């Protein structure tokens, strides 16, 4: 099977079986989404969704957050991972939105990457989720699943993975494929023991092909 064929089979399966995949973060506007994505770094979406409503209520606009302090923001996010750094980044993010972007989240990657707390993954999440643009954000799930299935050839970095996925996935599917791979990694192709027995991608998966009897169905 060629790589192009594997990509087609995998994307076709996802399109047929997981058409409605979307972010599990809760938000109502792009500013809130950016807050949630910054908070989600090395933190579960479930935890972020517990924290973020209080943040949104206390800091409903970039202007209000920009006028606050990291210590003030910290009190609302201290139960998430790395709260000190994230509090500083959130205030810095708000100040940048106010000073450079009229309080609006920009819609191109170069501008997004100038915002505190926004790396390439976060920028691509914003492009695909907030603006429905063809971008591929690579987090730990996307990185692991892509290598394990065989969509990438043991890529060594998220950027390498991103470039490979963008090369082979049709542009119209990129924004959805980001969620497909994340959710597949979160619930099926988990890190320690992938649930191959319930995975619909087995017949095209390099990992399963190399370990055909390890995770056979129990029936």
Closest to 157 in 3D by CA, of 148, 167, 147: 147
Tell me what pLDDT residue 156 has. 87
What average pLDDT score do residues 55-60 get?
98
Closest to 91 in 3D by CA, of 122, 58, 123: 58
Tell me what pLDDT residue 219 has. 37
Tell me what pLDDT residue 6 has. 95
What average pLDDT score do residues 115-125 get?
95
Is residue 146's pLDDT more than 90? yes
What average pLDDT score do residues 121-136 get?
93
Burial state string for 103-138 with b = 16 or more CB within 10 A and e = fewer than 16: eebbeeeeebeebebbebbbbbbbbbbbeebbbbbb
Tell me what pLDDT residue 187 has. 92
**Residues 38, 43, 46, 51: what is their CA dihedral angle, to the nearest 10 degrees?**
-60
The active-site residue out of 12, 139, 167, 193 is 139
Q: Is there a catalytic annotation at residue 46? A: no
Phi-psi region of 102 (alpha: psi -120 to 50; beta: other; left: phi over 0): left
Tell me what pLDDT residue 195 has. 93
**Contact, 32 vs 52, CB < 8 A?**
yes
**What is the distance between the alpha carbons of residues 45 and 4, in angstroms, rounded to a whole number?**
32
pLDDT band at 218 (very low <50, low <70, confident <90, very high): very low
Closest to 19 in 3D by CA, of 205, 203, 202, 183: 183
The pair of structure tokens assigned to 27 is 């938000």
Is residue 197's pLDDT more than 50? yes
The active-site residue out of 95, 121, 153, 156 is 121
Task: Enter the DSSP assignment of 211.
Answer: S
Write the CA distances from 37 to 23, 40, 107, 126, 216, integer angstroms.
Answer: 10, 5, 15, 8, 37
Tell me what pLDDT residue 21 has. 78
Tell me what pLDDT residue 214 has. 60
What average pLDDT score do residues 195-202 get?
93
Task: Tell me what the pLDDT averaged over the chain comes to.
Answer: 92
Is residue 95's pLDDT more than 60? yes
What average pLDDT score do residues 111-135 get?
94
Closest to 143 in 3D by CA, of 125, 161, 159: 161
What average pLDDT score do residues 132-156 get?
91
pLDDT band at 212 (very low <50, low <70, confident <90, very high): low
Q: Is there a catalytic annotation at residue 96? A: no
């Amino acid at each position: 099977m060629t790589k192009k064929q594997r990509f087609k089979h995998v994307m076709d399966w996802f399109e047929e079986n997981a058409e409605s995949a979307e972010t599990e973060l809760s938000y109502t506007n792009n500013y809130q989404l950016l807050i949630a994505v910054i908070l989600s770094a090395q933190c579960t979406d479930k935890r972020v969704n517990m924290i973020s409503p209080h943040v949104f209520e206390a800091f409903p606009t970039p202007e209000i957050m920009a006028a606050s302090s990291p210590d003030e923001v910290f009190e609302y996010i201290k139960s998430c991972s790395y709260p000190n750094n994230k509090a500083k980044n959130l205030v810095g993010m708000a100040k940048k939105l106010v000073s450079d972007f009229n309080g609006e989240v920009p819609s191109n990657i170069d501008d997004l990457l100038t915002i505190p707390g926004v790396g390439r993954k976060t920028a691509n999440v914003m492009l695909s989720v907030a603006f429905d643009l063809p971008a591929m954000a690579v987090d730990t799930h996307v990185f692991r699943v892509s290598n394990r299935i065989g969509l990438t050839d043991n890529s060594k970095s998220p950027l390498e993975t991103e470039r490979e996925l963008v090369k082979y996935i049709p542009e119209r599917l990129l924004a959805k494929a980001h969620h497909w791979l994340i959710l597949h990694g979160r619930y099926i192709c988990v890190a320690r023991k992938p649930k191959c027995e319930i995975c619909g991608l087995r017949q095209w998966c390099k990992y399963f092909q190399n370990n055909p009897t390890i995770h056979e169905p129990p029936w």
